[in-house]
């Protein structure tokens, strides 16, 4: 589903952040990418989602047999790529429901499916909120405005569940969450596991992996994946620390 080959990327100021990433994620798989601060985790997420301000200098990314890097960000999303933001953006004046319905209908139009009217949409929303155990109070507010850290992350998971992506990239969705919020997020991720969907969790800590069991774990260090393994790698990381891996080892 996702094939990253020898990916190099740098910031607008010329600093090279990704230095030859190789990663292959298949349909139905859950991967965890773990790394310390500054290892390039968020840059990888941003480059995959198509954010401005990064320049890919070498390598390729193939997503569902297409050149992902050639697509603008909004098209990537309509093609089923979802990024759960590390810092969900507050957008005053844009109602959360209006925003989500606009997004969902843009994606449905793209797939040639009929748009949902307000009533159909609301029914779908209610069902999904119940399933995820998220309160309805998020609905009437402006996008992320006045949300607590936990509410923002729940809103990301809720959006993921509504948009039903093919590939979900979770950028430190677990950071800053208390144990209850972490459970909601983990429960949401587990529910969204599906044979035709891939999930990539980017995280600093092993904590989330206590609740969501990954198929593969990768260690990102200095802009490269220095170690890959099964779920036991996460426990090893926790025990030995990042310093034991890669260049620093």
Partner 1 sequence: MSAVADFPVKPEARPYLEAARGYSGEPDWLAQRRRQALARFGEQGFPSRRREAWRYLDLRPLEQAPLVPAEARWADGSAVRGQLDAVGLPAPAARLVFVDGAFSAALSAREGLPAGISLYATHEAVKTRPELVEAALEALSHDPDQPFAALNAAFFTDGFVLDVAPGVVFEPPIEIAHIGSGEVSASLHTRSLVVAGAESRIRLVESFVGEGRYWRNDVLALRLAAGSALDRVALVEESEAALHFAALDATLGPSARLRNFALLLGGDTVRQDAIVRSEGEGAHCGLYGAFLATGHQEANIVTTVDHQAERGETREIFKGVAAGRAHGAFQGRITVRPGAQKVDAHMLSRNLLLGTRAAIDTKPELEIFADDVKCSHGAAVGDLDEAALFYLLARGIPREHARRMLIEAFIRDAVEIVEPAMVREHLLGRLARRLAILEE
Q: Which of 72, 79, 77 shows the shortest CA–CA distance to 100?
A: 77
Nearer to partner 1, 90 or 117 (CB): 90
Smallest separation, CB 155 to partner 1 (Å):
11
Smallest separation, CB 118 to partner 1 (Å):
15
What is the contact surface with partner 1 in residues (CB under 8 A)?
49-52, 72-74, 77-78, 82-83, 85, 88-94, 99-100, 102-103, 106-107, 110, 142-143, 159, 163
Virtual torsion, Cα 171, 175, 178, 184, nearest 10 deg: 10
Smallest separation, CB 145 to partner 1 (Å):
10
Nearer to partner 1, 114 or 239 (CB): 114
Non-local CB neighbours of 74 within 8 Å, separated by 6+ positions: 106
CA distance 150 to 156: 10
Nearer to partner 1, 85 or 147 (CB): 85
Nearer to partner 1, 51 or 130 (CB): 51
Smallest separation, CB 67 to partner 1 (Å):
18
């Amino acid at each position: 589903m996702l094939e990253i080959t020898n990916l190099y990327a740098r910031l607008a100021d010329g600093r090279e952040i990704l230095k030859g990433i190789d990663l292959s994620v298949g349909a139905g798989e859950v991967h965890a990418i773990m790394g310390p601060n500054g290892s390039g985790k968020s840059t990888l997420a941003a480059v995959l989602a198509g954010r401005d301000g990064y320049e890919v200098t070498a390598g390729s990314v193939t997503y569902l047999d297409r050149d992902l890097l050639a697509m603008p960000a909004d098209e990537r999303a309509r093609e089923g790529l979802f990024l759960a933001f590390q810092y969900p953006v507050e957008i005053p004046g844009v109602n959360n429901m209006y925003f989500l319905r606009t997004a969902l209908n843009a994606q449905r139009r793209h797939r040639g499916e009929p748009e949902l009217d307000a009533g159909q949409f609301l029914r779908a929303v209610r069902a999904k909120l119940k399933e995820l155990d998220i309160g309805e109070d998020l609905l009437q507010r402006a996008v992320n405005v006045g949300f607590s850290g936990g509410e923002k992350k729940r809103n990301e998971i809720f959006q993921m569940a509504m948009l039903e992506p093919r590939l979900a990239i979770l950028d430190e969705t677990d950071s800053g969450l208390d144990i209850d919020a972490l459970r909601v997020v983990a429960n949401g991720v587990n529910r969204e596991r599906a044979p035709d969907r891939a999930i990539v969790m980017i995280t600093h800590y092993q904590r989330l992996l206590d609740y969501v069991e990954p198929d593969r774990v990768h260690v990102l260090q200095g802009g490269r994946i220095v170690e890959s393994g099964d779920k036991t790698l996460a426990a090893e990381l926790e025990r030995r620390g990042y310093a034991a891996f890669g260049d620093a080892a």
